[in-house]
Structure 1
Amino acid sequence: MADETTLTGPEVIKSFLRTLDGSPGVYRMLDAESRVLYVGKARNLKNRVSNYARFSGHSPRIRRMISETASMMVLTTRTELEALLLEQNLIKQLKPRYNVLLRDDKSFPNIEVTSGHAFPQIRKHRGAKGKGTYFGPFASAGAVNRVLNQLQRVFLLRNCSDSDFETRTRPCLNYQIKRCSAPCVGFISQSAYAESVRDAERFLRGETTEIQEKLAQDMEAAAAEMEFERAAALRDRIKALTNVQSTQGVNPQGVPEADVIGLHMEGGQACVQVFFIRAGQNWGNSDFYPKVSEDMSPAEVMEAFLGQFYDGKQPPRMVLLSHGIEDGDLMIDALSEKAGRKVQLLHPQRGEKAELVQGAVRNARESLGRKLSESATQAKLLRGIAEAFDLPAPPKRIEVYDNSHIQGSHAVGAMIVSGPEGFEKSQYRKFNIKGSELTPGDDFGMMKEVLTRRFKRLLKEDPERASGLWPDLLLIDGGAGQVSAVRQIMREMGVEDIAMVGVAKGIDRDHGKEEFHRTGARPMALPRNDPVLYFIQRIRDEAHRFAIGTHRAKRAKALVANPLDEVPGVGPGRKRALLAHFGSAKAVSRAGLKDLKAVDGISDALAETIHRHFHETG
């Protein structure tokens, strides 16, 4: 074979063809620095790759890719389906420059009915699934919260944590406002509560008519037996269910379960809207903006989106598309294998399904229009920042850091990111402050820990700065002293070429009178009506909001934590016994060994474990 290091473009590909056969597989185009330019799959590798051995017949994008190709890598697979799955996995992992890239690969929340408890809890769940029963996905946390609110009003199920449930001696506010049946204090039997759980699960499966009929029959039976209080409660539940059905908006009649995917492309950008139809109800919609080029076809974008979107997500029984794709049968096989059942992939032309798709496309078109308008404004603001602070070019990634704590307790650091696309929330990061030697309230020490952890990781994972995750500009909350201190931290790590600006309030700490500090430059201010000033204030306030929210979440988690949860061998039953005997977790932690042994259900060995936990590690 010819020496590939002396060849480029078509010549490299021609020389590589001699090593290929007609097997299915995945190929990677690499540049002179071994960075992945493109990942593709093929039913027949030799035939597919031979298409790149010449410039003619390709779009400008592919011609550029061919000209930059300095080497190739190939991995054969047993089937084309395996090649498709591997291709999408590699695209997500390597993020090649010339592929369609789904940049916002967010997870979606579900509703979980917990298991392993006499009175199951109903709650929002995101992440890996356990042993509970799950319903979803929902497009957003807001959509989940709306449905949970409906379920509470109709079925009176608890949403409190197990530790809260076990320590309660009287019903909470949810019982008073008719959102819970108070199983924690025995106001409902286990069998009656289990029936409510089954009804809620049937509701989430779309069986609302049957539930309403059953509730009506139960109400009539209660009235006939002169249980008027129970009959009134059932009447209220029927009314709540009727209200839920009337306020759910557009719900398709003939599509019980589907993802409706609409694509709109304009100005070299694309928006994909996904509507989640489950149990015959619209469970919300979410928009995505994959990275595309102007010469990409809608079919190419749609196929790439499907592969990346469902990598790690459970496909529904039906997927409705606004644009057909070339390898439809292969994609059906891939989705069906992932789901463990048959998945339909349809491009409807008429009827209710087509109307659903048209609605998704309309939403995609409107969302992309808003985004294009916002992007133009954002680009102008970034140019303004470059001019104001003498930057060589508009920043593509601005990182803003903030800390939040109360006298040093529950301290967290927060980082937000802004760039040409606005706030990039998938890039936000929180840092639990770990430094045990820090003085409570030492903001500089906290900032040093956060920046050190952040940039040490970047130096380790991306020393060549090829990922786009390195910032062009750091915004520091503070004046010249803070900027100097941060500059010293960065110098110690060998990172001295990132611009940084300190944002300090003016003398009367008024919004609009901020002073800006840079190393080696005099403090400066911007006119009160300057849009760049408003922009900086907005991103600084966003960092503060994120830091405060992260701190509050950490503090709330600590407040509801029960020290008994950390003791090995103490489950819900034994925890109840200990709390009933001693009255509180604090009293348990102070109890003597003899007193612990006296508790019903606590063996001598477990009593010693509990005593040792609090008296040796406390």
Structure 2
Amino acid sequence: MTDFDIPSFLKTLSQRAGVYRMFDADNHLLYVGKARNLKNRVSSYFRARGLNAKTVALVSAIHHIEVTITGSEVEALLLEQTLIKEHRPPFNILLKDDKSYPWLHLSDHEFPLLAYRRGRRGGTGGKFFGPYPNSGAVREALNQLQRLFLLRSCEDSYFQHRSRPCLQYEIRRCSAPCVGLVSREAYQRDIQHTEMFLNGQSQQLITVLQDEMLDASSRLEFERAGELRDRIETLRLVQEKQRVYGTDRNMDIWALVEFQGVTCIHRLVFRDGRLLNSKNYYPDNLAGEEDPLLLLGYISQFYLAGHAAEGLPAEIIADIDSDEMTIVLDALRQQFDRSILHSRGVRGEPRQWRAMAEENARVGAQTRISGHQESLRKLERVSQLLGLDKAPRRIECFDISHAGGEATYASCVVYSEQGIASQRYRRFRIRDVAAGDDYAALEQAVERHLIRMQEASDLPDLLLIDGGQGQVGRIQQVLERLSITTVHLWGISKGETRKTGWEFLWAAGARQPIIPDAHDDGFRLLQLVRDEAHRFAISGHRKERSRSRGQSDLENLKGIGPKRRRALLLHFGSLKNMRGAPREEFAKVPGVSQKLADQIFAQLHGEDRSV
């Protein structure tokens, strides 16, 4: 392999579902894969042993890897097959037979048959519904739909020669239209209900099933309630709309995210309703342009210079003022004789696509930040900011989290020359400390950690405390007690305004803090490490509080009371299903707005929405 920094890349990967693409040194696509958990799946290619010869050959040719986060594993599967069919990567063999997607087919008959079909066959009458992610999902859906609506499952040749009901009628899986036990009008009503459901107009049906489930539960018929719960979940999964195939328009979606001094622009390319490309760009913003102007300039140069390999889109979705964008659209019309529409993507499906582009841009920026060379540069900036003799090789930051003294937890997060070192993160459950005594809790956690590090001769170079002069003074006593003189000690505290960018930096023994430039790269790194310590401490505290109170993580969601919690459980069935559902599914729950849906989704996946 080349100088591809594997450890740094793997540390930045999301644990969300998505698609990964492996390229060689000439930027040729080698392999496309999908994953339920991108971090776990991609990491498996780089383990020390257990790889077969073909995988070793693939890994040895990798120059770099790109990822696209999707809303769900289903979307990842559909996007994976689209990319394989489009690009034919040499290491992809399983889907090279161009096998079609599975569909549900409603035949053109007086008593229509609802059946599984592989692909949309030309000349076949009736209606097709799909595509669906895999044959197992379709067959399970078909099984449930036949139970719901008692539709026939036999082919026409069998149907036409029946003289008495078959076993499907006896087990309540068919209404026996073959022998006239159901009228044509009644059967057509069932067909209409089936079509409504398959067209995504089934919320009324799901509401009825939810009422039945609650009624069965109140009558202590828990087995029946469980069956209805599973049926609701199956129905929800079947009707789940796929954003990857959610439109037949040709459009490009652009998003820009600036994070810790790194700017990433992401472009999603839809052609004929299929996501054909997804790519990150990292422009140098030497002039310090504001984000909308930088994005506008990049888009204009991209199209006017002919870099759109897929051709010009019919529509561009980007969060840019319409008046500013009009100039670019006029220039494209004059140069290419093409009229292109523009939307900011503030509502409906365009909003979902723009959010998808923004999420991938955010991941791209974080990946770039954690690169090895970038880490070395930022550590050097830290040494300049703090006046250290040399750049620290490893920074460890501590923070405390509790709720009125309950379930106190301390966290230790690490930033090294390879970037964020999550494998070295530690949490400390605080014991025998008075409720709310943050100084004593912090002292206990730091002392326990430093004793262990001292025994292993693995002390950090810089110890960062989330706190001010008081906290730093208390930890200075710990260092003196342990006779540790090689560790630099600093604190970072919020200023009087409590706003990000106005923090103070406290050296051990100093009477006055350093007030750094908010745009200093070293200061931004210290902010990043402090924020990560805060996040890690809060997550540990919440888990401990849930265990002590016997609560589920669902009860810790902000903005969710008993009524909405009940609605969420009715809609999804379980917390596990909620974590696996796409973002837009939460907004379908009664009483949950789009803003609240975004907040719930972010909390369930441990995401920091402040980026």
Q: TM-score, normalised by structure 2?
A: 0.36
Identify which of structures 1 and 2 has the higher relative contact order when contacts are C-alpha pairs closer than 8 Å and 6+ apart: 2
